[in-house]
Amino acid sequence: MSSSPHPHVAAIGLGTMGEPMAHNLLRAGFPLTVFNRTPSRADALVAAGASWAPSAAAAVAQADRVLVCLPDTPDVRSLFSASGQNLLAQMKRGSVVVDTSTISPRATRELAREAASFGIAWIDAPVSGGPEGAKKGTLAIMCGGEAEAFERALPLLRTLGQSVTYVGGPGHGQIAKATNQVILAGTYQALAEALVMAKKLGADPSRVVQAISGGAARSWVLENRGPNMLRDEYPLGFKVSLHRKDLAIALEEARAAAVAMPLTALVASQEDALIAQGFAEEDVSALGRLTRRAAGLPAGPL
C-alpha cells in the first residue's frame, strides 16, 4: 500500500500532451502507473518513478483516477466501451476517469453513462494550451461531468492546469472545447485573408499589424500566430490535422443539433485542401499558406 496522501493514478496515452501531464503528476507526488501503445514513450516516466503496466487493463485495475489522453473518439471508445476492451468493467468502483482527449460530446455522454453503470465517474476535461502548457502545467481545462466527481478530481486537474473550469454535466467540457475550436477557425482564416489582402494591396503587412494590434482586431491569434503568417513559417503550435479533427466533431454535433455553421464548414474545407497539399503537420496558422497561394503570392515573408 502506498503511503501517499494522493490517490493512485493510471495514465493512458503518453503522447505530446499526455507524457508531460504524467510528469507533472509524478512531480506533485501522485503514485503513477503508466501505459502506452508504444512502450518507449514511457521510458523517462519509469526512470522518474512511474510503474509500467503491460496492458491498459493492468494499468487501470488498482487506480483511483485514470488520466486519459488519446487522439480521437474511436481511441477512447475502443478502450473503455463494452464494444471495445471494456476497461470500465475492470476498474475500481468509486474511481474517476479524467479524459483530457478532445472527442465527441455525444460519445462522452455515452461513455459517462456506461461508466456510471459500473459505479465509476467520467469527467471530460479537454485542454487548451498545447505541449508548452502541458509541460508547464498551465493548461486551460474545460470540465464536464457530475459536480461531485469533478470536486474529487480537482487536485489532479489543478496539477495539470492553471485555469480549471467546471462547465456543466457530462460532455459540457467537450462542448466548450468544440466552441473554442470554432472560434479559432474563424479567427485564423480571417487573419489569413486580411494579411494577404494587405500585402497584395501594396502595404507592409507588419506595419498594418502594428497599426491594428491595439484595437478591436486584437486577439491571441493575431498576437501569437500573426508573426508566423508574416514569416510564412508555421512551427507547432497545434497541428492542422488535429484542428481539422476537432472541427469535424463540431460540425457533426452542429448537424445533429440543426445548427448551420457556414464559416466553420468553409474553414474545414480550407484545412482539407491544406492537408491534401501535405501540410497536415504544420501549425493551424498555415491557413495563411493556402490564402497566399490562392492569391498567387510566392513563398517567403509577406
Question: How many CB atoms sit inside 10 A of residue 244's CB?
Answer: 21
Could you tell me if 127 and 160 are in contact, meaning their C-beta atoms sit under 8 angstroms apart? yes
- CB of residue 243 to its own copies, shortest distance in Å: 11
Q: Is 239 an active-site residue?
A: no
Report helix, strand or coil for 126.
coil
Active-site choice (92, 135, 136, 177)? 177
For its own copies, the closer CB: 202 or 300: 202
For its own copies, the closer CB: 28 or 265: 265
Amino acid letter, 118: F
- CB of residue 123 to its own copies, shortest distance in Å: 14
Burial class (CB in 10 A: 0-12, 13-18, 19+), 220: exposed
For its own copies, the closer CB: 89 or 211: 211
21 forms bridges with which residues in the sheet? none
- CB of residue 294 to its own copies, shortest distance in Å: 5
The owner of cell 468502483 is 93
For residue 200, what is its C-alpha cell?
Answer: 497584395
For its own copies, the closer CB: 86 or 219: 219
- CB of residue 216 to its own copies, shortest distance in Å: 5
Sign, Cα dihedral of 72, 98, 164, 135: negative
| Residues identified as active-site | 177
